[in-house]
């Protein structure tokens, strides 16, 4: 750290910077100068626009991109519900189960026959994509790449994809990204992508937000830099595949997968410019902040990206990272204290542990949900250790990485996740042996 030492190189080139108006073309003149829509584009490229916000939102929030492609997006037949696809079967329009509990699960098995789309499983969520309000949390496991001529998109929201195991090569309409464990990637609503596996089986988690878009958190008194820095976000350069082989489009719309056939290759964008695009970020570059005097700070200090709600300061979803850092606060109870929060917390472990206390290696990939106001905190053993250990500076090294999706919503869980065999005991069981305090008269 501060840059992750990845075992697998990234072969792709990127533009740098979050929220900039980027432009990238595969040959000079693809992007017209002095106008957006030439009467006829260079080589005859078709102009197209994709909007991620309504046209009239404040300029600072506007997300619009202009594409120049070999064929427009319209060249497909009618979308039909993909009722035979495992994705729809796994969702089965089931009602979510809302419970005021903390729940924990050990890692789920990777099914070798699945690809990124067939291996998507809805863990839980809240709200309604048709009203553009709410979130969805997924686990994915994949043992193979998606079929070559297939593309997926979600018309329901932006997807933040977090690999826990295995690398994803994500070809998008705007270009290619390689996303490895310790990196995160966001593919915005409606942007088509294909996932292949350059490094074996893969497992990870996805946060989909039905409302708004991910933004960097305000820094307040921290100042003008720190946490996730603007220049460390990487945006793909334009790259296209010229093929006459048709593409199977798989589009998630209102929570259901639909299928259509597109004439030729959908990844045919020869140039683009705008503010609406996928991006990735190396969590190793996160500039962690924390207490250098006393008391465990609130986890909001570790927010990488946030998606705002209508309430100032209250997130639809925060993406929070617990990675390498020093723990130095003095005369303090260092683990997260027992707590009940109005924000729900979905945590998962990429590697090692969330904090100074080591965790068994077989738990890498575990995940858990502490719902709105569900009580949770350290186990009895952790409490005993934390209240008796000598408080010396502790370094949580680069072998450790955990994340949290924090949301203002109560999260319902699916029948699938409530019945997976890896369900584990949670905080109530872990604190059953705590001694009751006696205050002398
Ligand atoms: Fe918590």
Q: Give the integer Cα–Cα distance in Å for 45 and 30.
A: 7
64 φ, ψ (degrees, to nearest 5):
-140, 140
Q: How many helices (H) and strands (E) does the chain have?
A: 4, 29
- Does an H or E element contain 386, and which? helix 380-386
- Residue 55, Cβ neighbours under 10 Å: how many? 8
CB 182 within 8 A of CB 401: yes
How do residues 255-278 score in pLDDT, each as one tens digit? 999 999 999 999 999 999 999 999
Confidence (pLDDT) at 202: 98
Distance 119 CA to ligand 1 centre (A): 28
Residue 103's H or E segment, with its range, is: strand 102-105
Query: From ligand 1's centre to the CA of 256, what distance in Å?
Result: 32
**Partners of 299 in the β-ladder:** none
Centre of ligand 1 to C-alpha 110, Å, is 27
CA of 142 to the centre of ligand 1 (A): 29
Strands (DSSP E) along 70-131, which ranges? 80-81, 102-105, 120-128
Catalytic status, residue 296: yes
Which residues sit in the known binding site for Fe cation? 339, 345, 376
Burial class (CB in 10 A: 0-12, 13-18, 19+), 26: middle
pLDDT at 25: 98
* Tokens 């102009």 -> residue: 47
Give dist(CA 8, CA 167) in Å, integer.
Answer: 8
pLDDT score, position 89: 67
pLDDT at 85: 82
Residue 425 confidence (pLDDT):
83
pLDDT digits (tens, 9 = 90+) for 383-401: 999 999 999 999 999 999 9
Annotated binding site for homogentisate: 354, 376
Both tokens of residue 201? 């089986």
What pLDDT is recorded for position 1? 59
For position 90, what pLDDT does the model report?
66
- List the catalytic residue out of 213, 296, 362, 438: 296
Residue with tokens 């035979």: 84
Q: What angle do CA 180, 62, 59 make, to 5 degrees?
A: 135
What are the residue ranges in the chain where pLDDT is below 70?
A: 1, 89-94
Phi-psi region of 30 (alpha: psi -120 to 50; beta: other; left: phi over 0): alpha
Q: Where are the beta strands (DSSP E) in 289-430?
A: 303-308, 315-322, 325-327, 344-351, 367-370, 394-396, 401-407, 412-413, 423-424
Contact 414, 96 (CB under 8 A): yes
CA of 337 to the centre of ligand 1 (A): 8
Whole-number pLDDT of residue 91 = 66
Classified by CATH at the fold level, domain 287-419 comes out as Jelly Rolls (2.60.120)
Upper half-sphere CA count for residue 404 (Cβ side, 13 Å): 21
Report the separation in Å between the CA atom of 200 and the middle of ligand 1, taken as the mean of its atom positions. 33
111 alpha carbon to ligand 1 midpoint, in Å?
30
Question: What integer pLDDT is reported at residue 86 of this predicted model?
Answer: 79
Cα 234 to the chain's mean position, in Å?
15
CA distance from start to end of the chain:
53
Distance, CA of 14 to CA of 175 (rounded, Å): 9
Q: How far is the CA of 428 from the centre of ligand 1 (A)?
A: 13
Counting Cα atoms < 13 Å in the Cβ hemisphere of 441 gives 0
| Side-chain half-sphere CA neighbours of 320 within 13 A | 22
Residues tagged in the binding site annotation: 339, 345, 354, 376
Q: Give the span between the Cα atoms of 401 and 349, in whole angstroms.
A: 6
d(CA 382, CA 144): 40
> CA of 344: how far to CAs of 99, 127, 341, in Å?
12, 14, 7
Q: How far apart (Å, rounded) are the C-alpha atoms in residues 373 and 314?
A: 16
Phi and psi at residue 70, to the nearest 5°:
-75, -30
Rounded CA separation 276/278 (Å): 7
Neighbours of ion ligand 1 (CB under 5 A): 345, 370
Cross-strand partners of 351: 401
- Residue 20's contacts (CB-CB under 8 Å, 6 or more residues apart) are 235, 275
What is the CB neighbour count within 10 angstroms for residue 392?
Answer: 8
Pair of tokens at residue 316: 């639809």
CA of 156 to the centre of ligand 1 (A): 28
**45 CB-contact burial (10 Å; exposed 0-12 / middle 13-18 / buried 19+):** buried
Question: Hey, how many other C-beta atoms are within 10 angstroms of the C-beta on 296?
Answer: 16
How far does the centroid of ligand 1 lie from the alpha carbon of residue 158, in Å? 25
Residues sharing a CB contact under 8 Å with residue 51, sequence separation 6 or more, in sequence order: 63, 64, 65, 276
* Whole-number pLDDT of residue 440: 96
Is 224 exposed, middle or buried (CB count within 10 Å of its CB: 0-12, 13-18, 19+)?
A: exposed
């Amino acid at each position: 750290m501060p840059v992750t030492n990845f075992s697998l190189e990234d072969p792709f080139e990127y533009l740098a910077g979050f929220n900039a108006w980027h432009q990238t073309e595969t040959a000079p003149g693809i992007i017209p100068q002095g106008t957006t829509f030439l009467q006829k584009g260079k080589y005859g490229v078709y102009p197209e626009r994709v909007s991620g916000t309504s046209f009239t939102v404040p300029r600072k929030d506007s997300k619009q991109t202009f594409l120049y492609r070999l064929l427009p997006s319209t060249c497909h037949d009618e979308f039909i519900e993909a009722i035979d696809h495992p994705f729809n079967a796994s969702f089965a329009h089931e009602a979510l189960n809302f419970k005021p509990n903390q729940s924990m699960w050990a890692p789920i098995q990777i099914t070798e026959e699945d690809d990124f789309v067939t291996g998507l499983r809805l863990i839980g969520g809240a709200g309604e994509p048709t009203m553009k309000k709410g979130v969805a949390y997924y686990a994915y496991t994949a043992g193979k790449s998606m079929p070559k001529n297939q593309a997926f998109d979600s018309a329901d929201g932006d997807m933040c994809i977090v690999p826990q195991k295995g690398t994803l090569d994500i070809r998008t309409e705007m270009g290619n990204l390689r996303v490895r464990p310790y990196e995160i990637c966001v593919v915005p609503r409606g942007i088509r992508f294909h996932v292949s596996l350059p490094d074996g089986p893969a497992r990870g988690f996805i946060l989909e937000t039905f409302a708004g878009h991910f933004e960097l958190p305000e820094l307040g008194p921290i100042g003008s830099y720190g946490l996730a820095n603007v220049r460390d976000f990487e945006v793909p350069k334009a790259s296209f595949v010229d093929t006459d082989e048709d593409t199977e489009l798989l589009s998630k719309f209102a929570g259901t997968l639909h299928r259509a056939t597109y004439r030729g290759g959908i990844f045919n964008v020869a140039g683009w410019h705008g503010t609406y695009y996928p991006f990735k970020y190396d969590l190793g570059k996160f500039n962690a902040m924390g207490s250098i005097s006393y008391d465990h700070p609130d986890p909001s200090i570790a927010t990488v990206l946030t998606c705002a709600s209508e309430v100032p300061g209250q997130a639809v979803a925060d993406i929070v990272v617990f990675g390498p850092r020093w723990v130095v606060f003095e005369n303090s109870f260092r683990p997260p204290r027992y707590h009940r929060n109005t924000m729900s917390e979905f945590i998962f472990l990429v590697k090692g542990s969330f904090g100074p206390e080591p965790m068994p290696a077989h738990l890498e990939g575990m995940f858990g949900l502490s719902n709105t106001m569900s009580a949770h905190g350290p186990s009895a053993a952790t409490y005993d250790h934390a209240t008796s250990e000598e408080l010396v500076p502790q370094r949580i090294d680069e072998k450790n990485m955990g994340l949290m999706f924090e949301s203002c919503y109560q999260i319902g869980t699916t029948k699938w996740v409530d019945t997976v065999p890896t369900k584990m005991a949670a905080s109530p069981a872990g604190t059953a042996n705590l001694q009751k305090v006696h205050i002398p008269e």
